[in-house]
Structure 1
Amino acid sequence: MSNTGNSVIMKGNEALAEAAIRSGCRFYSGYPITPQTEILEYMSWRMLEVEGEFIQTEDELSGINMIYGASATGARVLTTSAGPGFSLLQEGISYLVAADLPAVIVDVARLGSGLGDIFQSQSDYELATKGNGHGDTIVITLTPASVQETVDFVLLAYDLAEKYRHPVLILSDAAIGQMMEGVVLPEMREHDIDKFDWTVKGCSNNTVGKKITNVSYFCEGAYYGYEKIYADKIKLISENEQRWESVQVEDADIVAVAYGISSRICKEAVQSARKDGVKLGLIRLKTATPFPAKAFEHLSDHCKGILLVEMSISAQLKSDVVVATKGRLPIYAYLSSVDVPESSVTEDIAKKILNDDAEEVLVYEP
């Protein structure tokens, strides 16, 4: 597939898969589950064309553990899932973190707990940012808002994963994954599987080779030494990798906070509200982890509150926003659950907040 430099119409999931191929990914393992199955299907034939490895596993547990093994050899790897499948990836993600292994993981979020349903949702935010495995596991999390940004973030994800020797999660959703938009694909990148000195290369004649396991086993002072190494890594990521987009925040009386498909609606709401004389602004998350707390340093002194706009039922952005604002502003929420938020409703809620008439809106007072 060529089309480098030209805009083509692609479904979000398929564009993501092609971007991974062009980033040098040559190992994919995963299990089909709606709404991300197109990624797996695309990889099933595209990997053959680039002499990569595609494995449809028996479950998500195998998918995440296979990329652990492939990453240990220096390959660029990918696994993808959604809903209950994302839950099954958690243990393997923790092992990737413990072994300092780069990997890219995709969650095309869908509705509900348990089996849930196949509709779009943003209800995996807390699992993506506060979960991702046991034992202080923190994973860089990118939140694309368009098909083009999905492609761009795939390239970024591989670069970040190798820069920090750390897994990176792309938190998409069914709306982004299933929509079709124009996208410009990058040029094919070559990835040298032998460029790292830490990778395993196999052993012959029963010789003892390298082992990829918990990094703490090899640290001076064992886990006490690893604690500082890991804490320093997370601090470095937090300082350097916060990403966001601010839209008319400097003079805003009310600031919406959103990511993914919801943030696109908020942009429309900001434009419409401004025409009506309502000073609405937007902070769009490009990273959920690290959370872009720096974005909130530019709020105006007369800002009356924060409006969370998300497809969930529990205001999952709340705790991060409270910390970022140091609890000094009331936080309101427009929670649309399975429905994509509406621009007009977002604007109406902003007006209610400014008129001190927000009794119909979920409110968190500082």
Structure 2
Amino acid sequence: MSEKVLMKGNEAIGEAAILAGCCHYFGYPITPQSELIEYMAKHLPRVNGTFLQAESEVAAINMVYGASGAGARVMTSTSSPGMSLKQEGISYIAAGELPCVIVNIMRGGPGLGSIQPAQGDYFQATKGGGHGDYHCIVLAPNSVQEMFDLTLLAFELGDKHLNPVILLGDGALGQMMEPLSLNVDRVDQVDKTWATTGMGERNKPNRVNTLHLKPEELEGHNNKLQRKYALIKEQEVRWKEDLTEDAELILVAYGITSRIAYSAMEMARAEGLKVGVFRPITLWPFPEKALVNATKTASAILTLELSAGQMVEDVRLAVNGSKNVYFHGRTGGMVMTPRQVVEEIHKIFAVKEGAEK
């Protein structure tokens, strides 16, 4: 049995990044992720790494762009308003086919909003966020252990697919403390033959370029990116489902909200209601086929989010009208309770029973 330590979610991300071989971090403080930048400042020197507090989020993401282009494992982190400032740089990184890890510990919005947990950045993370046709791989942990584990995975996926990876958490996960296993079996390091580290024995230097003035060249590059995204959709979809085999209603939730969904499911089952939970772990690519398979016995889906309704659109697209899709959300940093979710479950079962009479 592995030894466990008590850590905050933000700290778990930092430790995982260092263990993954991240030797460069560039960021700017913003609540509720400031513990992560503090952790990197304190602990990167132990691996002779580089920590730099940039003058802004815009500067930080462009430093990530440069370090990644030179072949380094590199990370930045922020919270919602800061993520908005990084979008142009993220588009460049995606276009340049460079790996990096970008952490967004979401807070209430829009605008400055609040420092409380929210999930209103789903569209921004999964639909591009910046300009052009591109995608980031998006991972959604729901515990401190997964903050750690998925950070390790994020670096691996970034190098595997030469693509930016977003770890999408929230203020609750970033601030909460839980027992954490730090066991790491193996950290994969990739030989980055494409990096801009000089010619060496090559005949010509490597270049990172996102400017294509000839339209046929830019279209060719976009087609190449789309082929890569199709491959990611085939290989990297992740999810978890519980008690879906006989469920008449499926709760769909990610991140901190999925933990509320599990509690609500247990309460509903105790009351004789057949409820299951489907939790996307990759928000992009979204587990569409898995959701369809998980909802075979269900007549309805209830999507739970700390937003006005964003992931629910992907849920509706996935089931394509074959199921009734309901939504329950809270915004502004307000967090729903399991009992409130159970009340919504009762409403849906009442509609179902009325329709059957």
Q: TM-score, normalised by structure 1?
A: 0.90
**Secondary structure at 1:259 match in 2:** coil
Q: How does 1:27-106 map to 2 (within 5 A)?
A: 27-106=24-103
Alignment match of 2:17 (pick from 15, 20, 24): 20
Measured against aligned partners, the alpha-carbon deviations of 1:9-47 in whole angstroms (never above 9, x if no partner) come to 001001110110000000000000000111111111211
Tell me which residue corresponds to 1:326. Answer: 320
Q: Does the 8 Å CA contact 2:133/2:222 hold for their aligned counterparts?
A: no
Please tell me whether residue 227 in structure 1 is matched to residue 206 in structure 2: no
Q: Does the 8 Å CA contact 1:5/1:187 hold for their aligned counterparts?
A: no
Alignment match of 2:144 (pick from 142, 147, 152): 147
Alignment match of 2:351 (pick from 341, 353, 356): 356
Measured against aligned partners, the alpha-carbon deviations of 1:63-94 in whole angstroms (never above 9, x if no partner) come to 10101111111110000001210100101110
Measured against aligned partners, the alpha-carbon deviations of 1:40-65 in whole angstroms (never above 9, x if no partner) come to 11111211111000000000001101
Structure 2, unaligned runs of 5 or more: none
RMSD of aligned Cα (Å):
2.3
Tell me which residue corresponds to 2:234. Answer: 239
**Count of aligned residue pairs for this structure pair:** 350
Moved over 3 A (4+): 186-193, 215-219, 299-302
Q: Give the letter aligned to residue 44 of structure 2.
A: M
Distance, in Å, in 2 between the alignment partners of 1:11 and 1:35 is 12
Structure 1, unaligned runs of 5 or more: 359-366
**Secondary structure at 1:331 match in 2:** strand
**Secondary structure at 1:269 match in 2:** helix
Distance, in Å, in 2 between the alignment partners of 1:152 and 1:324 is 27
Measured against aligned partners, the alpha-carbon deviations of 1:291-342 in whole angstroms (never above 9, x if no partner) come to 0102222245552211111111x21112101111012222211112222221
Tell me which residue corresponds to 1:335. Answer: 329
Q: How does 1:2-13 map to 2 (within 5 A)?
A: 5-13=2-10
The sequence identity of aligned pairs, in percent, is 42
Tell me which residue corresponds to 2:249. Answer: 254
Q: Does the 8 Å CA contact 2:156/2:188 hold for their aligned counterparts?
A: no
Q: How does 1:281-360 map to 2 (within 5 A)?
A: 281-301=276-296, 303-312=298-307, 314-337=308-331, 338-356=333-351
- Shift in Å at residue 215 of structure 1? 8.0
Q: Which deviates further from its counterpart, 165-174 or 262-271?
A: 262-271
Q: TM-score, normalised by structure 2?
A: 0.93
Distance, in Å, in 2 between the alignment partners of 1:143 and 1:185 is 19
Q: Does the 8 Å CA contact 1:250/1:298 hold for their aligned counterparts?
A: no
Q: Does the 8 Å CA contact 1:98/1:215 hold for their aligned counterparts?
A: no
Q: Give the letter aligned to residue 151 of structure 1.
A: F
Tell me which residue corresponds to 1:363. Answer: none
Q: Which deviates further from its counterpart, 195-204 or 119-128?
A: 195-204
Q: Give the letter aligned to residue 196 of structure 2.
A: V
Distance, in Å, in 2 between the alignment partners of 1:248 and 1:355 is 21
Q: Does the 8 Å CA contact 1:273/1:347 hold for their aligned counterparts?
A: yes
